[in-house]
Structure 1
Amino acid sequence: MPGFLVNSVSRRRIRFLGSLCFVGVAGLALVNCSSSQPSSQDQALISVQTSQLSVVVENKVGMPLVDVEVAILPVGGVTQFTKFAGRMENAEKRDYELSSFYGRDGTQFSLRVVRPKTVRVTGKDLNNKALQVDVPWKQ
């Protein structure tokens, strides 16, 4: 009889662990599906082009953008190099030299030292809707 009780306890534990794993996997799937990645619509609203000398940002939103910030994210991700652009009018295109990007500690961006991975442009439209565009670095 004692062996029978241990066996039923083991079955309960296995059922409990199985249901716990199912809930965990379902929770992870829900979190991944509901992540707030920038939509492809945001990607089409702000155009970003990179070269060995500059980063070109063009506003295609249809209204001015405020608090625009352009950031170069390196491969290691240790420091991001940013440039505050302020306000960009509708259909405005700006060319930012790579030497105008600085890290948090005041380090100037240089392609000789840092290998860039992504260019991130963030800003808000006049309706206070936040926009974010991540574009892979292309040379």
Structure 2
Amino acid sequence: MLKSRLRCVVGPCAAGLAVAILVVVQVGCGGSGVSESGTDQIGIDVSSLRVAIENKSGLGLINVKAMIEPAGLQKTGYTALIGRLENAQTRNVSFSDFRTPNGTPFSPRGARVSAVRVTAEDLNGQAHEAVVPWGL
């Protein structure tokens, strides 16, 4: 009789605990919450020293701007102006080229980052945007 009562109490508790653990693990390992998008037209590769930006659009891109987006409470991102990228051209942008509007340089050691975003427009005036999560 006591064993059957324990099964009725312990069984649902164990199942609930297992579900709670799965939820905590899923939320904890969720990363920055930024998903990759737009990389079919603009390729972005982040390494430990630079951000490589590749034009895959088939046309030249103008007004190309890369932004390292901060995570957390910081609102101001770090921006690098690239200008123009020809078709199939790749440009390596050093982390020291990224700056806030007041001129503060980016340091991967001192900043929490959520994503890298690149915006541009092609020669026909169509806007392009690509985002990749920060992977360092």
Shift, 1:104, TM fit: 1.1
What SS is found at the alignment partner of 2:58?
A: coil
Normalised to the residue count of structure 2, the TM-score between the two structures is 0.70
Further displaced range: 118-127 or 75-84: 75-84
Larger relative helix fraction: 1
Q: Distance in 1 between matches of 2:123 and 2:58?
A: 10
What SS is found at the alignment partner of 2:40?
A: helix
CA deviation digits over 1:100-137, x for unaligned, max 9?
Answer: 10001111000111021100000000110111111101
CA deviation digits over 1:14-61, x for unaligned, max 9?
Answer: xxxxxxxxxxxxxxxxxxxxxxxxx95x32111101011100000000
Which residue of 95, 98, 112 maps to 2:95?
98
Instruction: Report 1 or 2 for greater relative contact order, CA contacts < 8 Å, sequence distance ≥ 6.
Output: 2
Which residue of 125, 128, 134 maps to 1:128?
125
What SS is found at the alignment partner of 2:39?
A: helix
Q: Could you say which residue in structure 1 is the equivalent of 2:64?
A: 68
Q: 1:20-31 residue pairs with structure 2 within 5 A? A: none
What SS is found at the alignment partner of 1:111?
A: coil
CA deviation digits over 1:78-111, x for unaligned, max 9?
Answer: 2110000001000000111101100011110001
Q: 1:1-139 residue pairs with structure 2 within 5 A? A: 42-76=38-72, 77-139=74-136
Letter paired with 2:98: F
Q: Distance in 1 between matches of 2:108 and 2:78?
A: 12
Structure 2: give runs of 5+ residues left out of the alignment. Answer: 1-35
What SS is found at the alignment partner of 1:43?
A: coil
Segments of 4+ in structure 1 off by > 4 A?
Answer: none
The count of residues paired between Structure 1 and Structure 2 equals 100
Q: Distance in 2 between matches of 1:138 and 1:111?
A: 11
Structure 1: give runs of 5+ residues left out of the alignment. Answer: 1-38
Normalised to the residue count of structure 1, the TM-score between the two structures is 0.68
Q: Distance in 2 between matches of 1:135 and 1:43?
A: 8
